[in-house]
Structure formats: C-alpha cells, structure tokens
Amino acid sequence: MSQLNIGIMGASGRMGRMLIEATLNNPNTKLAGAFVRSISSLIGADSGEFIGVGKTGVPLSTITLDGVQALIDFSLPEALDEVLDACLAHKVPLVMGVTGLSDAQEAKLKAASEHVAIVYAGNYSTGVNLSLNLLATTARVLGLDADVEIIEHHHKHKIDAPSGTALMMAKAVADARGQHLPNALVHGRHGAAKRQVGDIGMHAIRGGEIIGEHTVEFIMDGEIIAITHKAQSRATFATGAVRAAEWVATQPAGLYTMQDVLGLKG
C-alpha cells in the first residue's frame, strides 16, 4: 500500500514539530511538505533536522500543495484564507486543528467543505472524543437536575479562552439537554447573582506549562459526577490528527469531526 503524502501547515510551531514527527513515525504516511509563514527565517531548513530527527529532504517552505494528498493545519486563525485557497485550488483534503476561529471564519470553512473534505475539531485526542460521548450520555440521563460546571487548565501561552475542547464539551452537554450555545454558557462568576437552572459554567485557568486538563462536573443534591481528561503529551493530538488525515483523504467533500473519524457518531 502506498503512503499518503501529508503536508503540515505551521510546521515551525510547537504542534507543527509534533505533527512532523508523527507523520514520519506513521508507516502509512509520508511527509510531503512542511510550511511556515513567508517572513520566517527558517525557510530552507530541513524539516527533519529542524526537529532533531535527521535529514528528511523536505525543507521548510511557504505553502505549496503540489504532490500533497492531505494537509494538516495547527497554525493560527490568520492563515485560514491562505490555507483554504490552496486546498480548494489543488482539491486537497484538510485536517483543521486551529482553535479560536471567528464565526465568519467558521462560515468560510463550511463553505469550502462543499468542495473538499475537511475534518474540523477542537481536539484530536481519542480520549477526549470518547469523553464527549460519556458527557452526552450523562447529560441526557440527568437533564437539568444536574448543575454543570466546566473547568479547563492550559499553559500560559495559550491565546484563546475557553479552549476549543471546553467548548466541544459544553456543546455535547447542551445538545444532549436540548439547549443552545452560547445562550446557556456562563463564563466565570462575579457579583451577586444566583445560579440559574440550566446554566453551564465555564472557567478557563492559564498558567505554567499545563498541556491540557478538562473536567466537567455534574453537581446534584447529594452527589457529584466528574468526568476528567488530562493530556500528558501533545503527541496524542498529533497522532490523532495524522489518523484523521488518513481517514479524510478517502472521503467525499463535507465537513466532518473527529467523532466521524473514530466511528463514534450515532
């Protein structure tokens, strides 16, 4: 079986380096492109030598999708237009891992998915996506009898808050209870206001080098159910994203999630 040619957008970033390594370590995939911003001083450097695994023959460069069969993007929201234009021009499927997209950018992503296959998820961890199913089941059974609070921890360098994963978790709970976001969300608390029935509390904590921890508490009179996921390595996100690239490369145009990739829907 031939290897899938994968391109990595944002290759010089923290996640980009992990994605390069995950692509190289997967026997079914081949690194075909490692892309950085046009102003980067790293352009021309060998991607393998850059991450310390030896020469790959794939230099860091601006985005060009000739020969690329699937693109993984964990860069920044500012690069979205360039990424979508390239994918549409070359009919290349996309795995989108950028969080913090605006409503207008999400609309562009959805429009592009009418022409190419796109996986869009706030988290590519298998454990997180299994947790979403557990959250939906718990919320469906308990309904509005449980007060729900979401607490997420991330490193001090993270730009967006709440995290994409926390929002995915909130949506899983809200959908299962017949609620709508963002109406049900209450971000933090201050002042003198009583908690309202159906509120989904959201609390974002930033500090140190925490990779990512999420806890959803279902608080009832007399007992509490807490569902927690802790990421111990970013490698789990990179491995999941490469798995998503393998999957999306064979799919028709459409907008998919990691739940589709793992066969967890329905």
Express each pLDDT in 23-74 by its tens digit: 999 999 999 999 999 899 999 999 999 999 999 999 999 999 999 999 999 9
Indicate if 204 and 255 belong to the same structural domain: no
**139 vs 122, which has greater pLDDT?**
139
What integer pLDDT is reported at residue 1 of this predicted model?
58
C-alpha gyration radius of the chain: 19
Chain segment 150-206, per-residue pLDDT in tens = 999 999 999 889 998 999 999 999 999 999 999 999 999 999 989 999 999 999 999
CATH of the domain at 187: 3.30.360.10
For residue 121, say whether it is annotated as part of any ligand binding site: yes
**Cα(163)–Cα(123) distance, rounded to whole angstroms?**
9
For residue 234, say whether it is annotated as part of any ligand binding site: no
Its domain, for residue 16, covers 4-124+234-262
Q: What are phi and psi of 248, to 5 degrees?
A: -70, -25
What integer pLDDT is reported at residue 141 of this predicted model?
98
For all residues of the chain together, what is the average pLDDT?
95
What integer pLDDT is reported at residue 25 of this predicted model?
95
Indicate if 135 and 220 belong to the same structural domain: yes
For residue 37, say whether it is annotated as part of any ligand binding site: no
What integer pLDDT is reported at residue 148 of this predicted model?
98
Indicate if 84 and 164 belong to the same structural domain: no
Q: What residues act catalytically?
A: 154, 158
Q: Average the pLDDT over 102-110 and give the result.
A: 96
For residue 98, say whether it is annotated as part of any ligand binding site: yes
Indicate if 101 and 202 belong to the same structural domain: no
For residue 97, say whether it is annotated as part of any ligand binding site: yes
Indicate if 29 and 82 belong to the same structural domain: yes
Q: Give yes or no for a contact between 157 and 212, defined as CB atoms under 8 angstroms apart.
A: no
Strands lying side by side in the sheet with 117-120: 60-61, 29-35, 4-9, 70-73, 94-96, 117-120, 254-256
For residue 33, say whether it is annotated as part of any ligand binding site: no
Indicate if 131 and 107 belong to the same structural domain: no
Indicate if 112 and 199 belong to the same structural domain: no
Indicate if 120 and 244 belong to the same structural domain: yes
What integer pLDDT is reported at residue 54 of this predicted model?
92
The pLDDT > 90 percentage for the chain reads 91
Chain segment 85-96, per-residue pLDDT in tens = 999 999 999 999
Domain count, the chain: 2
Chain segment 122-138, per-residue pLDDT in tens = 889 999 999 999 999 99
Indicate if 88 and 182 belong to the same structural domain: no
CATH of the domain at 32: 3.40.50.720
- 266 pLDDT band (50/70/90 cuts)? low
Q: Give yes or no for a contact between 29 and 246, defined as CB atoms under 8 angstroms apart.
A: yes
Chain segment 193-240, per-residue pLDDT in tens = 899 999 999 999 999 999 999 999 999 999 999 999 999 988 899 999
For residue 48, say whether it is annotated as part of any ligand binding site: no
Indicate if 42 and 170 belong to the same structural domain: no
Indicate if 95 and 8 belong to the same structural domain: yes
For residue 165, say whether it is annotated as part of any ligand binding site: yes
**Cα(50)–Cα(203) distance, rounded to whole angstroms?**
37
Indicate if 106 and 33 belong to the same structural domain: yes
The residues near 104 (Cβ < 8 Å, ≥ 6 apart) are: none
